[in-house]
Amino acid sequence: MGLPTSKDTRLLAAGVTAFVALAAYLGVALANTHALAVPGAPGVTSKVAPWTPSGSKLTPARRHSGGYDVLVTPVSPGGKKAEDYGAIVQTLVPDPAAGRTYVVGLWLKGSPRGRLGFELNEFRPGVAKYPVETTIRVTSRWRHFTFRTPVKGKWLGLAVYVYRANQRRQTSFSVRGVTAAVRGR
């Protein structure tokens, strides 16, 4: 085997450059999609944080001590194809500890009253588990909901998804004050 030629060096340099660019891209993407975004934290400017839309538009509403009430409306209400719309907290709890129970709380109200879907999602690359998948009844008044989930095994994070099926009419719901507390050893 001989010494590398100039073609080999250029190819190696191109490969290293591509690897560095990919690593930077993945770092930024992970930070933007799986960052614990708490309103008022340094660098968090979104009034709807930590929520992100899913087939929806998120609008900050009334401000209160814990941040903003967030109004969740479908992107295309009343369409021919009924689709879910909602709000997600991509990473409410990063690296949840195995053997602990996490208690997630939030306030919800709907317009019109009806049922919302709620999911707690444990995730790691390529794998997701849904220890809580339920529907809850909401009214036009704020109501607090609490969900508990024990964590078994090693997970990258714990996510929250609140959604409503598009009922081919104008609907919306509001969320506020999502919290997570740990119980257990």
pLDDT of 23? 47
Count, in order, helices (H) and strands (E) of the chain. 1, 10
**Any residues with CB less than 8 A from the CB of 72 and at least 6 apart, and which?**
51, 53, 56, 57, 58, 85, 86, 87, 162, 164, 172, 173, 174, 175
pLDDT of 73? 92
pLDDT of 159? 95
Rounded distance between C-alpha atoms, residue 88 and residue 158, angstroms? 11
Domain layout of the chain by residue ranges: 1-33, 52-183
pLDDT of 179? 92
The CATH superfamily holding the domain 52-183 is Galactose-binding domain-like (2.60.120.260)
pLDDT of 83? 81
The one-letter amino acid code at 169 reads R
21: helix, strand or coil: helix
Residues of the chain with pLDDT under 50: 20, 22-44
Other CB atoms within 10 A of residue 138 CB? 22
Rounded (to 5) percent helix, strand, coil in the chain: 15, 50, 35
